[in-house]
Structure 1
Amino acid sequence: MSAARGRRPWIALALLGAPVLVAVLGPWAAAGSPSAQGALPSRPPGDGHPLGTDVLGRDVLWLVLHGGASVLGSALGALLVGAVVGVPLGLLAAGERRALDESVMRGLDLLLAFPGLLVLMTLAATGHREWYWLVAVAGVLQVPAVARLVRGAALAPSAQTVVEALRMQGRGWAYVHLRHLARQLAAPLATDAAGRFSVVLYLLASANFLGLGLPPSSPDWAVLVERNSDALFTQPAAVLIPAGLLTCLCVGGNLLVDRALAGRREVRP
């Protein structure tokens, strides 16, 4: 059992590292244009096209190497939006004013009731298909969960004891919340962000797959899967490779989160 646990982080790092490296280093490794003169659409791997061509006659290898940047950047951007908005709201709800706590949490409950894909469909129907709208909405949809986590951690008995002691010493709200509580919340927020990354990635990939996000000409991996799904049997590389990279990204992130939680459980007295 211990040997299996010891190998698990390396498996997770390998699964997560492969798509991350492709996303980060791919644009520098692939130069030129994805379109080749005279290239036929949905051609299998051959000379000049190691992974074949897509439905538009573009080189699949070039598209795969350039499509991860939007996937990784959008997911991280949405996580950042959720944290920037959710952490202050959670700290505000954990304050001394009961009425403010109820107002903030009931407002977040209302936001939590909206299905993510329905919100993105409404956004696309109004003509807002730019990537920053997609990232902003996906990030705002994560705010209720982040705020609840912060509020719960800030209201924990151990945290409240230290907060009361600091207030008796004359420390202000900014010192107590932004310095002391922020350090205590760093570990649970990091663990939650790692797990939430898969949730955000699934939401963004689903939106792009359904045509609610990036334009059809984008090299985004989810867009590639959607655009080439009809040619799965004639040109499987255009579908299976970007789908596999998305899967590795989700599975690797989940395994790392599980390992981090297991490590915290082992060191807990």
Structure 2
Amino acid sequence: MTTLTETARVRTGRRRRPWAALPLLAVPLAVALVGPWLAGDTSPQTDVLPSQAPGAGHVLGTDVLARDVLSLVLHGGASVLGSALGALLIGLVAGVPLGLLAAGPRRVLDEAVMRTLDLLLAFPGLLVLMTLAATGHRDWYWLVTVAGLLQVPAVARLVRGAALAPGARTVVEALRMQGHGWAYVHLRHLARELAAPLATDAAGRFSVVLYLLASANFLGLGLPASSPDWAVLIERNSDALFTQPAAVLVPAGLLTALCVGSNLLVDRTLARRRGQR
């Protein structure tokens, strides 16, 4: 009896744990969404020194250009969140239809789609972004578009694999024999089957996209050096890590919380739904 009670408590605790990820995710989201409305001036100031430690008038100190770090952090989250979500959306919008197309009954079409995507999968993401920057395409939309297209092969492979699962294939064959069209089979039946794996992959892929974009900005391949983007702040102030650590640790902590919080929330939510079933 005690064992059953303890097991029930453990299961109940696991079901409640998804919401423990909310504070971790809520902080960087709140900074990214509300921060620009609360931030002050981000231009260099003449009355303070560069890389000044936190003190009166500057809660987080100043960066290497004598700009207020708190204002920069509040401004920089919008570009991080917008770029990552935009690239992720491009990958899903292009990858899901291609995966469903490859999972169709035509073997030739499957081979053509997947082998073409394999060519794109072979290119390292940072190498593609470096080539893009070398050709002069450093605009924000180029960076987001290419980062999103680099996710298409992985998304398409996931969708194809889930749609070709034995159980799903049997049901699909039955639905086709009953006269249901492509839209009904793929947009109604398979959409429900793909919801859970796509949600899990999207959370992990969000971290991948965020890492790719942050790495590009850190290496100077994306946004200009004067941008308040969190990754740019880390790169510009890395030399002053020991004299002004807040300029590096605060944006780095927000990036980490955004990645970990999104993954935890999706994983725990899906685990909670499985437990309820």
TM bucket (normalised to shorter chain) is over 0.9
Are the equivalent residues in 2 in contact too, given 1:34–1:63 (CA < 8 A)? no
Aligned residue identity for 1:162: V
Aligned residue identity for 1:241: V
Aligned residue identity for 2:253: G
Other-structure match for 2:219: 210
Distance 1:77 1:142 in 2: 12
C-alpha displacement of 1:166: 2.2
C-alpha displacement of 1:4: 6.4
Alignment of 1:63-74 (within 5 A): 63-74=72-83
Distance 1:58 1:195 in 2: 34
Aligned residue identity for 1:189: L
Map Cα deviations across residues 180-210 of structure 1 (whole Å, 9 max, x no partner).
2223222221121011111111111111111
Map Cα deviations across residues 2-61 of structure 1 (whole Å, 9 max, x no partner).
286466434422111111111111011114444334332111112221111111111100
Aligned residue identity for 1:133: W
1:201 aligns with 2:210: yes
Other-structure match for 1:92: 101
User: How many pairs were matched up?
Assistant: 268
Other-structure match for 1:225: 234
1:16 aligns with 2:36: no
Map Cα deviations across residues 56-115 of structure 1 (whole Å, 9 max, x no partner).
111100000010111111111111000010001001101111011011111111111111
Other-structure match for 1:43: 52
Other-structure match for 2:198: 189
Match for 2:182 among 164, 170, 173? 173
Gaps of at least 5 residues in structure 2 are 1-8
Seq. identity, %: 81
Under a length normalisation based on structure 2, what TM-score does the superposition of the two structures give?
Answer: 0.90
Are the equivalent residues in 2 in contact too, given 1:166–1:176 (CA < 8 A)? yes
Other-structure match for 1:60: 69
C-alpha displacement of 1:163: 1.8
Other-structure match for 2:158: 149
Distance 2:215 2:13 in 1: 33
Match for 2:255 among 240, 246, 252? 246
Distance 1:98 1:267 in 2: 39
C-alpha displacement of 1:127: 0.9
RMSD: 1.9
Distance 1:112 1:246 in 2: 26
Structure 1 runs (4+) deviating above 4 angstroms are none
